[in-house]
Structure 1
């Protein structure tokens, strides 16, 4: 089998670098080995093959789902997301989960959620003031959490909301040390892992209470939040209803996959608008005129320039030929979102923040990948872009933003976030 070249460090060193020093590691790998590389990551060690050429990425995304298991590739998330998570299942089980979730995220559903998202965004921005040094990552995390709790979970009881908020925030704050411990269940009895999973158990109890109470409401069919929609599966179709455990796992997946990712994308967008006054001037006009297309392009370009998730993973279940490389059974192939987004072959002047490229140019397939691709493309992609566009419009119709310094990306758990929290100064319009 022919694998791409890679470092010859001990597996433990490669694992620590991969988890705790991902950005400098990726820079080193791309400079040293080019657009493909191989790593050996514990436990196992597993063979990790990174790729970034569009033709090779296409082979993975277009490959048969039985040959490329994304669920197995995401195995480290199982202790938190659960056995039924749409991110952790494969083949028929994944298709069932995706089929049941998709109606809650189609175009008609998104239009139904938009009004409540607007209300929540307005409530958040109402707290801001002229001249404020806004810690955007903190405030966007608060905003996206509130949207998930109310629009996705459908929680309206203020007492339950006030109990959920701090516990959910602790649940999404995962250090590299905690993440490493997820792979070793024996550690769950000790120190930070014990505290983390104790908090998770408390969140689970609250979610199960919400699911139980929601099943008993008389107006379930009239409710439009995601949980209420999922609870109606089986009532008007031949599909098997979702069990409480399945509902819990999908809700936690939507929380972890859709909370800090969208918050970071919004934070990076506001930072880049503050750092690029000419682009911001166009964004302000777009907000005033209700031009959602340009605001969405601002989000997409921030996601390209600052990937929130830097790769996706597929475990190959049989020997596979991917472009120039031959992968053995059990290897994990990881299309690199970060390297694909930084490619000058795909994006002219790739280090420049230029949203117009998404309106005036054709973005080639398998080059812009913040939501993955193929049959495993994130089902919440449309929701995330709608949510971000609504929030940007609310901010930019009321404030212009400026930045005082540069910002850099930092890996936090499995997401890349602004290291200094993307502070901007607000200027009332």
Structure 2
């Protein structure tokens, strides 16, 4: 085994030991006596309901318990208080980041993402990492990426055939994966791409039961948990090799991919280490791969269900009307939320919506409920892209990227990628939806259960 492999094995083992979501010092007990009402089921049942059956469980809790309700989840029945009104979301997003910690709320992803992940950091560490990452996602950088994203989308669409029927989710996953590997990771060598693709796919396609099992090391010797750990080691070897080679690339200064930019970036001599680069790349992968793919698949499903929408989309793609294509994407993200909620853990007693909450409680706006409220979006069950033409929905009613200082750093990239993909698809093909579809949970995201099956008809 090479010195690189030895070092990587040690780094990966340390991450799994350190980032165990239920590990570390036992958190202080939380006084739950005054919390809002919620189900009294066993914590394992509520955890499964929240993670696996969220599209039924969360709306049921809202109907049963009102605008604010408490769910008790693993480990040890830790309370999660979900809020459903825009004024609640505003308070949470505007909360002091030294009190409202997001990293602790995302701890279940720690073994995959690592301690340096932007999603897991808080306070000064988060501020530093975000400052170093931001130049790779500003307006100038997005313009640099757009052409390459368009090339990847065009190549994907070129492989389709007139009258072909397929699961659009599968094709959109392939497309967004290629964007991540080429535009974010900057990998162009076909042999390395072939090695990365299956490892990345297995990282993304994690069953919720595997996520719940991260806290129990003994499980990692068996079945899907063992396979997931072995895949993580293999992916880390590939990732660290790519990072270390890229640092010494002769054309590093000319490269525009995200990894190369992150290697070059420095703030007063402060640079990202190999571990930090690995953790941020995996974060961008998990946060930006299947989320965008699912949004695109739902968009094609909704466009394909309605002849009027198909014709309007065709005209927009033909005329370069990116505003309409963006509205299609955003409305599909409203109607079919990919992520269910945005969470923060309170480090001090705090009042939200007039409710006094103790330190240790995790709080968050429910995206599922916010996007489906009649007061926020009239006729919320109707696909209506016009909501996003010349205006935006009221503040804190459309929150797929979160909000405040923790708003998703890749939001602009995701929208740019989605619009570029829709432009290439809809300028070449009409799409017809093949039957209804409903959401199901895969890892932390919601995707079309039937894969958003479509038929494509060449123009």
TM-score (norm 2): 0.91
* Residue number among 271, 282, 304 corresponding to 1:274 in the alignment: 304
* Residue number among 420, 423, 430 corresponding to 1:400 in the alignment: 430
* Residue number among 191, 195, 204 corresponding to 1:159 in the alignment: 191
Alignment of 1:70-81 (within 5 A): 70-81=102-113
Preserved CA contact (<8 Å) 2:59 2:369: no
C-alpha deviation, 1:239, in angstroms: 4.0
Aligned to 2:337: 307
Query: Aligned to 1:154, what secondary structure does the other structure show?
Result: coil
C-alpha deviation, 1:324, in angstroms: 3.1
- Rounded to whole Å, the distance in 1 between the matches of 2:42 and 2:152 is 49
Alignment of 1:60-139 (within 5 A): 60-139=92-171
Is 1:243 aligned with 2:273? Answer: yes
Is 1:386 aligned with 2:416? Answer: yes
Is 1:185 aligned with 2:214? Answer: no
C-alpha deviation, 1:20, in angstroms: 2.2
Query: Aligned to 2:364, what secondary structure does the other structure show?
Result: strand
* Residue number among 166, 172, 175 corresponding to 2:204 in the alignment: 172
Query: Aligned to 1:15, what secondary structure does the other structure show?
Result: helix
C-alpha deviation, 1:15, in angstroms: 1.7
- Rounded to whole Å, the distance in 2 between the matches of 1:419 and 1:324 is 39
Query: Aligned to 1:321, what secondary structure does the other structure show?
Result: strand
Query: What stretches of structure 2 of length at least 5 have no aligned partner?
Result: 1-32
Query: Aligned to 1:411, what secondary structure does the other structure show?
Result: strand
C-alpha deviation, 1:35, in angstroms: 2.3
C-alpha deviation, 1:413, in angstroms: 1.1
- Rounded to whole Å, the distance in 2 between the matches of 1:341 and 1:297 is 15
* Residue number among 351, 358, 361 corresponding to 1:331 in the alignment: 361
C-alpha deviation, 1:147, in angstroms: 0.3
Query: Aligned to 1:271, what secondary structure does the other structure show?
Result: helix
- Rounded to whole Å, the distance in 2 between the matches of 1:80 and 1:222 is 31
Is 1:51 aligned with 2:83? Answer: yes
Q: Which moved more, 1:254-263 or 1:326-335?
A: 326-335
Query: Aligned to 1:405, what secondary structure does the other structure show?
Result: coil
Query: Aligned to 1:74, what secondary structure does the other structure show?
Result: helix
Deviations 1:43-72 (A, max 9, x none): 122100001101111000001001100001
Deviations 1:342-396 (A, max 9, x none): 0110111111000011114441111100101100000000000000000000010
Is 1:217 aligned with 2:249? Answer: yes
Q: Which moved more, 1:319-328 or 1:106-115?
A: 319-328
Query: Aligned to 1:43, what secondary structure does the other structure show?
Result: coil
Alignment of 1:313-352 (within 5 A): 313-352=343-382
Deviations 1:241-264 (A, max 9, x none): 110000000000000110000000
CA RMSD in angstroms, aligned pairs only: 1.1
Aligned to 2:5: none
C-alpha deviation, 1:188, in angstroms: 2.1
Is 1:36 aligned with 2:71? Answer: no
Deviations 1:59-107 (A, max 9, x none): 0000100110000110111000000000000000000110011110000
Preserved CA contact (<8 Å) 1:35 1:339: no
Q: Which moved more, 1:84-93 or 1:31-40?
A: 31-40
Deviations 1:108-157 (A, max 9, x none): 00000011111110100000011011210000000000000000000111
Q: Which moved more, 1:281-290 or 1:81-90?
A: 281-290
Preserved CA contact (<8 Å) 1:2 1:325: no
Query: What stretches of structure 1 of length at least 5 have no aligned partner?
Result: none
Aligned to 2:7: none
Aligned to 1:295: 325
Preserved CA contact (<8 Å) 2:342 2:402: yes
- Rounded to whole Å, the distance in 2 between the matches of 1:300 and 1:327 is 33
Preserved CA contact (<8 Å) 2:43 2:76: no
Preserved CA contact (<8 Å) 1:19 1:180: no
